[in-house]
Amino acid sequence: MTTDWDAATYDRIADPQARWGEAVLDRLPLRGDERVLDAGCGSGRVTELLLARLPAGHAIALDGSPTMLEAARRRLASFGDRVTFIVADLLEPLPIDRPVDAVLSTATFHWIRDHDALFRHLAAVLRTGGWLVAQCGGAGNVASVLAAAAEVGGPWSSAAEGPWLFASAEETADRLARAGFVDVRTWLQSEPTPFEAGEPLETYLATIVLREHLARMPDSDRDAYVRGVAAKLPRPEIDYVRLNIVARRGRALDCGTPSGS
């Protein structure tokens, strides 16, 4: 697991993740009565959108961060027993007692370096024929921020070194097939995202993109570091690249084909 999150700030500023999450959710075919795992639910903004599409169903909001899960509990309180909360590490076998109908995951997989283990654990809790629909950072993600961070100094000199994995579409498709997924589609999508310069950009960088960098330096150095990185960006924009995943567990059984590619 990576270091813990500032869940309150994340919940307030994660508009790009919520926007992308809604588009990812559009690819998940749902009748409305399924049990769906949100793997890495964070503060629950995308889980909330999922629950709105499950009027007779159930969501399992799973995250490794107790702080994030607490924020999700508050946000999703009105859904009552239509949502279950689980603190668990996606790198370990998951404490889910019977198979779910689908797995949704947004903005999470790149924080996990061992994707073979991750996909194995997800496959183990997904019913045969169930969809895995996900999006995370992919090859080239936030490259200009990481380059600026390396220039300013800090723990890592290249994107390959940090506690994240920005995988390619091809290697991800191979890993999914090895973990027992079929009908696999993976693709990269460029999402350059502009921010208001100054405090909004710096808070966003500190809370999300640079949080692992900051966790490895004294408190007193952090503000100057974030300002230094922001100042080195060519423009107040983060060069996001998203990796999309659509796959089924085992042999294709039912449901339609998800849209978008």
Ligand X SMILES: C[S@@+](CC[C@H](N)C(=O)[O-])C[C@H]1O[C@@H](n2cnc3c(N)ncnc32)[C@H](O)[C@@H]1O
The reply on whether position 229 binds ligand X by CB under 6 A is: no
The reply on whether position 186 binds ligand X by CB under 6 A is: no
Q: Per CB under 6 A, which region of 85-93, 152-160, 190-198, 209-217 contacts ligand X? A: 85-93
Name the residue among 174, 180, 175, 142 with its Cα closest to residue 159: 142
Between helices 66-75 and 45-52, what is the axis angle to 10°? 40
The smaller minimum CB distance to ligand X, of residues 39 and 152, is found at 39
* Shortest-Cβ-distance residue relative to ligand X: 42
- Give residues 25-44 in contact with ligand X (rule: CB under 6 A): 40-42
Name the residue among 208, 199, 165 with its Cα closest to residue 15: 208
The reply on whether position 111 binds ligand X by CB under 6 A is: yes
Count of residues interacting with ligand X (CB under 6 A): 23
The smaller minimum CB distance to ligand X, of residues 68 and 238, is found at 68
The reply on whether position 141 binds ligand X by CB under 6 A is: no
The smaller minimum CB distance to ligand X, of residues 25 and 230, is found at 25
For residue 259, what is the DSSP state? P
Residues 252, 67: Cα–Cα separation, whole Å: 37
The reply on whether position 21 binds ligand X by CB under 6 A is: yes
The reply on whether position 154 binds ligand X by CB under 6 A is: no
Dihedrals phi, psi of 138, to nearest 5 degrees: -120, -175
For the four alpha carbons of 67, 68, 69 and 70, in that order, the dihedral sign comes to positive
Which residues on adjacent β-strands are paired with residue 126?
Answer: 100
Residues 259, 139: Cα–Cα separation, whole Å: 23
Query: Least separation, in Å, of the C-beta of 20 and ligand X?
Result: 7
Rg over alpha carbons for the chain, rounded to the nearest Å, is: 18
Query: Least separation, in Å, of the C-beta of 168 and ligand X?
Result: 20
The smaller minimum CB distance to ligand X, of residues 76 and 107, is found at 107
Residue from the set 27, 28, 35, 45 that interacts with ligand X by CB under 6 A: 45
The reply on whether position 63 binds ligand X by CB under 6 A is: yes
Residue from the set 30, 48, 101, 106 that interacts with ligand X by CB under 6 A: 106
Name residue 259's amino acid.
S
Question: What separation in angstroms does the CA of 22 have from each of 26, 28, 45, 52, 106?
Answer: 6, 10, 10, 11, 9
**Contact at 8 Å (CB) between 103 and 37?**
yes
Task: Name the residues that contact ligand X, by CB under 6 A.
Answer: 1-2, 5, 14, 17, 21, 40-42, 45-46, 63-65, 68, 89-91, 106-108, 111-112
